[in-house]
Amino acid sequence: MAFDSKEFFGKIKSGASSAASTVGEMGKAVGKKTGEKVELVKVNSKKHDLEKEIDGLFLQIGEKVYQHSGPSIEKAQFNDLIAQIDEKYTQIKDCVYRAAVLKGLAICPKCGWECEEQSAFCPKCGAPIPAPGPEDTSGE
Ligand SMILES: [Zn+2]
């Protein structure tokens, strides 16, 4: 039987290319996982920064109250600081939501508890969990 070098090398080639594509697929999956982890670290550190900024704003309010010399103090005097705190709390909520999505969890719209994405009801408060899917842009 004659040695068919063409067939022999053809087999090696096809074997090598299928192995390469398998490695490529694996690399892609790992790359995606790593990307999600990096994103999760970023989201968590942003949340941490926001919490520190909120602490700073509360300190500013406390200082103003401390330095105030009149008989009473109006909450309205701190409206700008309060608005900044509210804004940062909204951003924190967004971070919590994004972190949960990255971890494959769903956030209870009522109490904020992290639930399994496939659960129909929140295990903490019993509120229905919206099914995962296209982003709901209809509001709160
Ligand atoms: Zn809940």
Question: What are the sequence ranges of the domains in the chain?
Answer: 10-102
27 contacts 93 by C-beta, under 8 angstroms: no
State the amino acid at position 75 in one-letter form: K
Q: Which residues contact 58 (CB under 8 A, 6 or more apart)?
A: 85
Q: What is the DSSP string of 90-119?
A: HHHHHHHHHHHHHTTEEE-TTT--EEETT-
Could you tell me the distance, in angstroms and rounded to a whole number, from the CA of residue 76 to the centre of ligand 1?
Answer: 33
Ligand 1 centroid to 19 CA: how many Å?
47
Q: What string of pLDDT tens digits covers the 140 residues of the chain?
A: 566 777 766 766 666 655 556 666 666 666 777 888 899 999 999 999 999 999 999 999 999 999 998 888 888 989 999 999 999 999 999 999 899 989 889 888 899 888 988 889 999 999 998 876 555 555 54
Cα(80) to centroid(ligand 1), Å: 31
* Predicted local distance difference test score (pLDDT) of residue 1: 58
For residues 83 and 73, the answer to whether their CB atoms sit within 8 Å is no
The two counts, helices (H) then strands (E), for the chain are 2, 2
Indicate the burial class of 104 (C-beta count within 10 angstroms; 0-12, 13-18, 19 or more): exposed
Measure the CA angle with vertex 76, ends 65 and 139; round to 5°.
125
Neighbours of ion ligand 1 (CB under 5 A): 108, 110-111, 113, 122, 124-125, 127
